[in-house]
Amino acid sequence: MKFKIDENLRVEVAEVFQQAGYDAATVYDQNLAGEADNKLAVVCQSEQRALITLDTDFADIGTYLPGQYAGLIVLRLKYQDKNSVLKVVTNLIKAFTAEELVGHLWIVDEKRIRVRS
């Protein structure tokens, strides 16, 4: 699986994915920081990368149909400090073996993952 890490997450999130053996690129890697959500969505589609973000706009399945993406992961975290985010991301990676990501929206908080198609 390939991932795109949004600009609202620390670059260390990409490092956690890479250490787990995944291809993870940040929006900064491609000079996409500050671009509109729809442009980022198109890039993720063309690269077949799942997007991981704190931006709840991507949870709008009327605008971003999960079936058109390699996966959308929206983190809805109570605490967004570095350690809290990295802990959630580390636990999230373990879920890839149990749940399908491609074509789905995952809404992730500290306690659970909700999956929508």
Task: Give the tens place of pLDDT for each residue, 59-103.
Answer: 999 999 999 999 999 999 999 999 999 999 999 998 988 888 999
pLDDT digits (tens, 9 = 90+) for 13-69: 999 999 999 999 999 998 999 999 999 999 999 999 999 999 999 999 999 999 999
Q: Is 48 helix (H, G, I), strand (E, B) or coil?
A: coil
Helices (H) and strands (E) in the chain — how many of each?
3, 6
Tell me the CA distances in angstroms from 83 to 3, 89, 104, one per residue in order. Answer: 20, 10, 26
**Nearest alpha-carbon partner for 7 in 71, 94, 30:** 30
CB of 114 within 8 A of CB of 59? Answer: no
Q: What integer pLDDT is reported at residue 96 of this predicted model?
A: 87
Amino acid type, 84: S
**What pTM was estimated for this model as a whole?**
0.94
The CATH fold of domain 2-116: Rossmann fold (3.40.50)
Confidence of residue 117 (pLDDT cuts 50, 70, 90): confident
Residue spans of the domains in the chain: they are 2-116
